Structure formats: structure tokens, C-alpha cells
Amino acid sequence: MLKKQKKKEWKETLVGYAIISPWLLGFFLLILGPILASLYLSFTDYDLLSTPNWVGFDNYINILTSDPRFVQSLTVTLIFVFISTPLKLIFALGLAMLFNTGRKATGFFTTIYYIPSIIGGSVAIAVVWRQLFGRNGAINDILNSLGLSGLNWIGNPDTALSVLIILIVWQFGSPMIIFLAGLRQIPGELYEAASVDGANKVQTFIKITLPMLTPVIFFNLIMQTIGGFMIFTQAYLITQGGPMDSTLFYALYLYEMAFEYLRMGYASALAWILLVIIALITIIIFKTSSKWVFYESEGGR
């Protein structure tokens, strides 16, 4: 009986592995394999054409000590993330609260406002955005019709980054849907009790909505922060990193090193540095979350 039981368990195990084998193959061949290859290449001088030449930590040392464009790309990316992420979350939360009022056609308008998150990262939208904010674009036409002088939005180092920030903030549909789901999980009894106590809308928002929504805010903050560090398509198509490297995002600089200058080893080192930076920021957010994230099951912050 014991042998039959073990044989049965073994067969069940094989069936289980057979079912998940496509995922396992994809993980080892398409995820883990390239990750390990990238780690190895980060310690080499590799141009995609010849055999990788082992150089140890030279790539990392050069990046951290003698590469001004690395500093510029990291600075631009950090500014972008720390401005665009809060703005996107604020817009997303505001619309989620508006759609949570139970008015008619809420589902229709929610879908409409979600569309930018689907198409916002596409090549077509990037091209449209470049035309809108071009010297002869629609934005300047509107300003001129109001008697205001237009700007060279994309060609000006002082405004080029703002154009990309507006584009990313416009794609607030995904966090909006998550906020809306979180708002609908807040017990209505809390609002009824606040109303009985005479609390106004601002007090209700600060004392009930925000604390109960902090786990959702925490999740959206993590996801949008990580996503912000990966921006590439918009900068590549709209500004190409210019003018004067004012929109040289980290991912764009990494791409240039890898596929324009064929410095794949150097680009791999850049990728691993980015991984460490994102991990550190994520850890900081997690460590500070105990101070401001409220979990109802824990009875406090």
C-alpha cells in the first residue's frame, strides 16, 4: 500500500510539472537565462560582434566615476519619477472618487478615461504628441488664437521634460481603476457614522477615505514608481533624449549604449545598476509604509 501511495503521488507530481512546463520553459529560457547572461556580460567588454572580453568591475567603475551622461540620465529619470508619479496618482484618485458617486453612465466614462493607459505607450500616440507640442502644433495654434506666443515645447530644454511628464500623467487609467476598486471596499457605515457626527466632506476624506485607502495608494505608488524608471518609447520617439540631454532617460541611455554604440557589456552594467536603484527605492517605500499605511485587520497603522 505504501508503494502504491508513493507511485500515485509521483504520478500526480509529474502531471503537475507537465501542466506548468510551458511556464517553466518560459521562465528559464526567456527570463532567468537572459538575466544571468546580462549579469555575466556586465563584467565584459562586448560589442555584439566579437567574443566577450572579461574586464571585471571596469564597467561599473567607469559608470560611477567617469560617465557624466550616466549622472545626467539618472538625474532626469529621478526628476521625472518624483514629479509624474504623485501627479498621476492625484489625478487617478480624483477621478476615481468622482466615478464612485454612483452617477449614471459611470461605467462608460470609466472606460473612456482608461483608454489612455492602453494606447498611451504606443508609437502612434508618441507621434501625435510630438505633433501637438511641435513648433507648428495644435498647442501653439490654440495659444496664438488667444493672443499668446507659442513655445518650442520639444526643442526647449526647459520645457521638453514637462511635455513627457504631461503625457505620462495623462495615462492615469490603470491606477484610477485600482483606486475605484479600493473606494468601493470602504464600508459605508463609516461614512454614515461620520455624517451623524457632523463631519464635512473634507474631514471625511482625511479621516476615513485616505486612511482606508492607504494600502491601495501604497500598491499604486510602488507600481507607478517602478514603471516610471522604465520610460523609453515616449522619449525615444518624441525628443530622442534632447535637447541637450534634457530628456535623456536612463532606459534611453542604456539603449544607446547597447544598440547605437554596441557597448553591450557597458549597457548590461547600466541595467544592473538600475535594478539596484529601483530595489533601494522600493525598500525605502516598504520600510516607511509602516508609518502611513493603515491595515484594518491590524487595527491601526
pLDDT digits (tens, 9 = 90+) for 218-243: 999 999 999 999 999 888 999 989 89
Output the pLDDT for position 300. Answer: 47
Task: Compute how many other C-beta atoms are within 10 angstroms of the C-beta atom of residue 51.
Answer: 7
pLDDT at residue 102 is higher than 90: no
pLDDT at residue 171 is higher than 80: yes
Q: Torsion-angle region of residue 245: left (phi > 0), alpha (psi -120 to 50) or beta?
A: left
Q: CA-to-CA distance for 249 and 265, rounded, in angstroms?
A: 19
CA 240 to chain CA centroid, nearest Å? 20
Output the pLDDT for position 105. Answer: 72
Strand blocks (E) in the chain:
44-45, 53-54
Output the pLDDT for position 116. Answer: 82
Residue 34's alpha-carbon distances to 27, 37, 225, 268, in angstroms, are 10, 5, 24, 11
Mean pLDDT of the chain, nearest integer: 89
> Does residue 269 or residue 5 have the better pLDDT?
269
> Does residue 45 or residue 12 have the better pLDDT?
45
Kindly report whether the peptide bond that precedes residue 243 is cis, defined as omega within 30 degrees of 0: yes
> Does residue 81 or residue 119 have the better pLDDT?
81
Reported as a pLDDT band with limits 50, 70 and 90, residue 107 is confident
Instruction: Give the pLDDT confidence of 49-101 residue by residue, as tens digits.
Output: 899 999 999 999 999 999 999 999 999 999 999 999 999 999 999 999 988 87
Q: CA-to-CA distance for 165 and 163, rounded, in angstroms?
A: 5
Non-local CB neighbours of 182 within 8 Å, separated by 6+ positions: 96, 212, 213, 215, 216
Reported as a pLDDT band with limits 50, 70 and 90, residue 8 is confident
Reported as a pLDDT band with limits 50, 70 and 90, residue 112 is confident
Q: CA-to-CA distance for 161 and 247, rounded, in angstroms?
A: 6
Reported as a pLDDT band with limits 50, 70 and 90, residue 188 is confident
Output the pLDDT for position 298. Answer: 56
Output the pLDDT for position 165. Answer: 94
Reported as a pLDDT band with limits 50, 70 and 90, residue 301 is very low
Residue of 266, 234, 229 whose CA lies nearest to 250: 229
Output the pLDDT for position 162. Answer: 94
